[in-house]
Structures are given as structure tokens and as C-alpha cells.
A and B are shown apart, each in its own frame.
Chain A
Amino acid sequence: DTGVSQDPRHKITKRGQNVTFRCDPISEHNRLYWYRQTLGQGPEFLTYFQNEAQLEKSRLLSDRFSAERPKGSFSTLEIQRTEQGDSAMYLCASSLLLGSGAGELFFGEGSRLTVL
């Protein structure tokens, strides 16, 4: 399978615990995005990487959230001291840079987080 893969697909945790999600983008894609989606809403932009550089971070991302993309390949999204409001689907997407324009985003199936 050469699509975007995310792991784990489902995570149930207790409030206050830390969780980490992993995303493996399509191999030749240099852009990687993290979004969060709750029921009845569209994906909310969280952060963006071009290669290994984190170029944009949404104001939605509190200090408890951190994302990395070492070596410009896979990415991790860590949430520290989880809160019930963090319960959502966390979507990763990748795309190929086409000049200054936007390429098609290819999404993974998402990691669903439930905080009890």
C-alpha cells in the first residue's frame, strides 16, 4: 500500500495521559499536514511541514501539542496531559509541492482519540 498510513487507528486513554500518533506520508511527498476533525465539522488545520521544517502552526494547537517530522519522512503528533476536549479524529495528509500552488491532499484513514 503506497498511501498515507496512520498509527494507531484508535486510541482510548485516560485524562492526563500522553498520547502519540504517527503518520507515514506517501514517499515522494514533501508536504505533510495534521488536521483534527470532530463530528459534524470539517478538518481543522493544526500544523504543516515542508520536508522537516514545521512552517505553520495553528492557534488551535496549545502548548500540550507538539509535532515533529525528523528527516522529512514520517511525522509524529504528541498530545501531553490529554483532556476530554482532545477527543477527535486526527488526520494526516501529504502532498507534493507544485511551485507555489497547492497540490492535492492525500489523507490517511486517521487516528481516533477518545479521552475518558
Chain B
Amino acid sequence: RKEVEQDPGPFNVPEGATVAFNCTYSNSASQSFFWYRQDCRKEPKLLMSVYSSGNEDGRFTAQLNRASQYISLLIRDSKLSDSATYLCVANTGGFKTIFGAGTRLFVKA
């Protein structure tokens, strides 16, 4: 079993749609969680951290459920520019940062 698992995707949505990505992690010792975004043929870049209380950044909302070892990312009012791969990330104490396989999002006009 992979340490971080994500919806396989791809997700194809029209502009303006709301889309949700799910992620589970297997290591209960994981302490920090993140969503990274990776554009085609580019390096991953941090989108947002995920906090236990949930957090929001504009159209993006991240949630963490430690009991279920589950992380989510909600994108509201999707834009064409949101088309990318979204990577769920878990950190098990300081240095071991594990990425999921990523979920590809295509936003269509």
C-alpha cells in the first residue's frame, strides 16, 4: 500500500465548477500535510498547507481528518488556469515528505 493515495483522475470539469480531491495517508505518525500543484513539464510548487482546523485560501479549501487519515482539497469556481496536477503530501516528522501520485485536473471553457 502506498503511503499517500489519491483519486486517480483525471477530472474534467467546466469553468465555474466546484471540484473536490481526496487523499488518504497510511502513516499515523504523519504530522504535516500539504497540497502542491504541478503544471505540465514543470516542477511542483506549494499550493497550500493543510491544518487540522481546515483552512481556506481564496477559492481553495483544504481539510484534514486525522481520525480517518484523510485530506481533501476543494476548488470553487474553477478557472482554466487551475488545470494542473494536484499532489497530496504528508510529512512524517521533519524530513520524510511523501507525495501522492497526483490527480490531474482539466478545466474546460
What is A's interface to B at a CB cutoff of 8 Å?
31, 33, 35, 40-45, 48, 50, 55-56, 91, 97, 100-102, 104-105, 107-110
Contact = CB atoms under 8 A, between A and B. Distances in A.
B42 A40 contact: no
For the side of the interface on B, what is the size category? 20 to 34
B102 A41 contact: yes
Interface stretch (B13-21, B57-65, B92-100): B92-100
A61 B54 CA distance: 35
A34 to B, nearest CB: 12
B44 A107 contact: yes
B87 A42 contact: yes
15 contacts: A33-B97, A42-B99, A42-B100, A43-B44, A43-B99, A44-B99, A56-B95, A56-B96, A101-B31, A102-B31, A102-B95, A102-B97, A105-B36, A105-B44, A105-B97
A108 B95 contact: no
A40 B101 contact: yes
A43 B99 CA distance: 6
Given A33-B97, A45-B98, A55-B95, A110 B31 contact: no
Contacts of A102: 31-32, 34, 91, 94-95, 97
A40 B8 CA distance: 10
B52 to A, nearest CB: 13
Contacts of A105: 36, 44, 46, 97
B93 A100 contact: yes
Contacts of A31: 95
Interface string B61-100: 0000000000000000000000000010001011111111
Nearest to B87: A42
A107 to B, nearest CB: 4
Most A C-beta atoms less than 10 A away, residue of B43, B91, B96, B102: B43
B42 A45 contact: no
B45 A48 contact: no
